[in-house]
Each structure stands twice: as structure tokens, then as C-alpha cells.
Amino acid sequence: MNSTKHLIEIALKEDIGPGDITTENLIGPELEGEGVIIAKEPMVIAGLEVAKQVFEYFDSQVVFTAKYQDGDVVKSAKTIAKVEGKLRLLLMCERTALNFLQRLSGIATNVRSYMNEVENTGVRLVDTRKTAPGWRKLEKYAVRVGGAHNHRMGLYDGVLIKDNHIAAYGGIKKAIDRIKDKISHLVQIEIEVSDLDQVEEALVAGADVIMLDNMNVQQIKKAVAVIDGKATIEVSGGITKSSLRSLADTDVDIISVGAFTHSARCVDISMRITPKNNPG
């Protein structure tokens, strides 16, 4: 999995390439400056440490001072952070630092708006694997900052038997029996089902978690009654903000929301840079 440092390195090399021909021809290497990072709209901030690491990538002596912590709600026009260092550095790293900050804060802000819809219901909202390639660790971090929880990180840290697995292996019971024979008794088995017949089959086979995929509210209520506490119940597929409350009221345990990450927009954040001495 890509580390944050590796992602920062990729992003900076992608943007700067062999050199910033504008900055390097206008700004002397000895000049100092200050950058003020400003929220242009209300948001839940996330990614401050990543933004700091972007500037520190070229100069560990840069001074990054955050005015908030990840998870804080920031109002429009508020200063999020200040950064002081070489003027060239600030200009070259500005866009990359903002890209990380805008994307991660956008996810956290999006997630928080979903969490507000299910406040005091007891249901757990979780994310999915629908993340930007290479960004999963950071995007799932932003989900947690927004107040929700993570589902599995990848294919390696949780068993989830999906419809294509069932079709490929020849049925729910056969698939569950095979998995039980191969994994530790400490690992839970989750299986995706699409109708009540499959719910009953999954129960009989001993699934620990049953994912109700793309079922409507009435189907979910019937499934909850059938399962009757014998397995953890997750609902998934086509989840919208407007449908959350009615789903939570069915007494399911978990709702997984792909839109946390795949439909989050970047929030608007800018950086105002000023020299501390005359660049001319």
C-alpha cells in the first residue's frame, strides 16, 4: 500500500517535474515568505498533517502552524494554517498541499453530512473500497475524521463473499463451508445476499455478517425479522443521504456508503503567499 510520503513524492514530481520554470526564474533562492491557507466555504477539515508533510518534503525547517485540528468544523474565510519558509518552496508546493487538503476535507465534510442524518439512531455507517487508486489509506482516514467507520481496508483483511464468488463457486453454503475450512476461527465471514431465500441459506450456513444488497425497505424489514439477531446485518447498494433514516429505522446494524468517497467533491481552499522581503 502506498505510504503518505510516497504519495506526496508522486504528486510533487508530477507537478514540478524537472523544475518550476516560472518560480525559479522569478524568485531568488534566498528569499523568505509566508503562506496563509484559507477556507473559502464551511468544511470539516482533514489532512493538515499531510499538507505539512508536503512543505517539509523539500525543507524540514519549514514552519507549519495549524489553527485547527482534523475533525474541526471550519467556517468560511477562516485561516486554517500558516506556513513560513523559502518563498520558492511555498510557491512550488502550494497546489500539491491544497490538493491533498481539499480532497481529504471534502470527504470528511461529505461524511459528516451523512452522519448528521443518523444521529442518535445507533446504526454504524461505514465506507467501501470505492476509493481513488493509491489514496485508500488517506481517504479512509478522512472517513474516520468525518465521524464514520471503515469497512475492510482491502481484499486481504476481511472475508466478504460477493455475488460473483457465489456464482463462481456454486452456491452460498458451498462457499461458506470452503472458507470456514481455510481461515482462522477468529475471522468473521460476511456474505452478500439479494433476496430472502439467500438470507435463510446464509443463516443456515453460519454466516457471521449478512449484507443485504440493493434491497428496498420492506425487504430489509423482512430480512431483519428472519435473521432475528443471529447475524450482524449490513445494508449496501444505492444508499443516499435521504434514504439513511428509513434504513436506520429498520434496526440494521451497519450501512455501507460508497458515496462517502466516490462522490465527495473537493472543498474550496486557497493559499495567499506574501514575501517577507523584496523579491525584485
H or E, element range at 148: none
User: Which cell numbers hold the place of 111?
Assistant: 461524511
> Which among 180, 202, 177, 181 is positioned nearest to 191, based on CA atoms?
202
Total residue length of the chain: 280
Q: Residue 117, SS3?
A: helix
Active site (catalytic) residues: 95, 130, 162, 192, 213
Between vectors from CA 225 to CA 163 and to CA 228, what angle results, nearest 5°?
90
Separation of alpha carbons 237 and 153, rounded Å = 18
Q: What share of the chain is helix, strand, coil (3-state, %, to 5)?
A: 45, 20, 35
Provide CB contacts within 8 A for 98, sequence distance 6+. Answer: 37, 51, 269, 270, 271
